[in-house]
Structures are given as structure tokens and as C-alpha cells.
């Protein structure tokens, strides 16, 4: 297998004399040096590009880590907020139940007091009817008592 580039083989094949061989070798050397410089330049460019890409990768990894920390903190905060909402819902339900129970107690108390007032009013009406009836029955007696006192 031929290890030399094809153009080098072409140069050596077409050389007739030793001075031509020396000139050809020098030309080949110049070409190899030029090609070497191109490879060195390409290598430097690739190194610069690689360093820039490594820095970019490092920056992106740092940014990703920062975003992951932020995401973790937000997830923790979200979890805490969900728990707080759950507790608030439970508290609201308990408050509603207590309020309903209190409203029932107040309503029952009002109904009981109203019934007591109605009963008292009915008793007072009955007492008034009885007193009125007694007064009507007693009026003739008082009239009779009054009459003898006037004559004196």
C-alpha cells in the first residue's frame, strides 16, 4: 500500500535526472510544508472551536443545573401550596359545618323562645278572659255594694 499522496508519486515518476530529482524533492518538501501549515491552521481553528464549544457546554450545564434547582424549589413550593389549599378546604368545610350547627342552634332557640312567648300570650289571654268574666260576674255585686254606701 502506498503511504504517499498521489501527487508525490506523480512528481517522482516524471523526474529524469538527479538534479531534477533534487528539485522535485524540494518542491515536494515545499508542498508538504505548505500542507503542514494548512493542517496546523486547521488544527488551531478546531482547537479554538473546541474550546468555545466546551465553554458553551459548561455554561449550558451550569444553566441547566440552575434551572433544575429552580424547578426543584418550585415543585417544593407547589407541593406546600397544594397542602395549604387542602388544609384550607378542610378548615372551610369545618367552619361551614360549625356555622350550620350554630345556625341550627340559634334557629331552634328562636323557635323555642317564640313558642314560649306564644304560650305566655295565650296564658295571658286566657287569664284576661277569666278576669274579664269574673269582673262581669262581680259588677252586679259591686253595684249592689255601692248603692247602700250612697244612702248613708
Contact between 29 and 8 under an 8 Å Cβ cutoff? The reply is no
What is residue 80's predicted lDDT score, i.e. its pLDDT? Answer: 98
What b/e string do you get for 34-51 counting C-beta neighbours within 10 Å, with b at 16 or more?
eeeeeeeeeeeeeeeeee
Contact between 14 and 23 under an 8 Å Cβ cutoff? The reply is no
Which cell goes with 149?
Answer: 254606701
Contact between 99 and 107 under an 8 Å Cβ cutoff? The reply is no
What is residue 115's predicted lDDT score, i.e. its pLDDT? Answer: 96
CA–CA separation, 95 vs 88, rounded Å?
10
What is residue 144's predicted lDDT score, i.e. its pLDDT? Answer: 73
Please state the pTM of the whole predicted model.
0.47
The pair phi, psi for residue 5, each rounded to 5°, is -65, 155
What is residue 136's predicted lDDT score, i.e. its pLDDT? Answer: 86
User: What pLDDT tens digit does each residue of the chain (152 aa) get?
Assistant: 556 666 656 655 555 567 788 888 899 999 999 999 999 999 999 999 999 999 999 999 999 999 999 999 999 999 999 999 999 999 999 999 999 999 999 999 999 999 999 999 999 999 999 999 988 888 777 777 766 555 55
Amino acid at each position: 500500500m502506498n503511504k504517499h499522496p498521489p501527487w508525490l508519486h506523480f512528481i517522482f515518476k516524471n523526474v529524469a535526472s538527479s538534479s531534477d530529482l533534487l528539485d522535485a524533492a524540494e518542491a515536494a518538501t515545499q508542498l508538504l510544508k505548505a500542507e503542514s501549515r494548512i493542517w496546523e491552521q486547521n488544527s488551531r481553528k478546531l482547537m479554538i472551536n473546541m474550546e468555545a464549544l466546551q465553554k458553551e457546554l459548561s455554561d449550558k450545564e451550569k444553566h441547566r443545573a440552575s434551572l433544575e434547582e429552580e424547578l426543584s424549589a418550585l415543585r417544593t413550593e407547589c407541593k406546600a401550596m397544594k397542602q395549604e389549599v387542602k388544609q384550607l378546604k378542610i378548615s372551610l368545610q369545618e367552619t361551614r359545618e360549625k356555622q350550620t350547627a350554630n345556625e341550627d342552634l340559634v334557629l331552634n332557640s328562636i323557635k323555642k323562645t317564640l313558642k314560649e312567648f306564644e304560650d305566655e300570650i295565650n296564658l295571658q289571654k286566657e287569664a284576661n278572659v277569666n278576669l274579664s268574666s269574673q269582673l262581669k260576674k262581680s259588677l252586679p255585686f259591686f253595684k249592689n255594694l255601692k248603692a247602700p254606701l250612697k244612702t248613708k
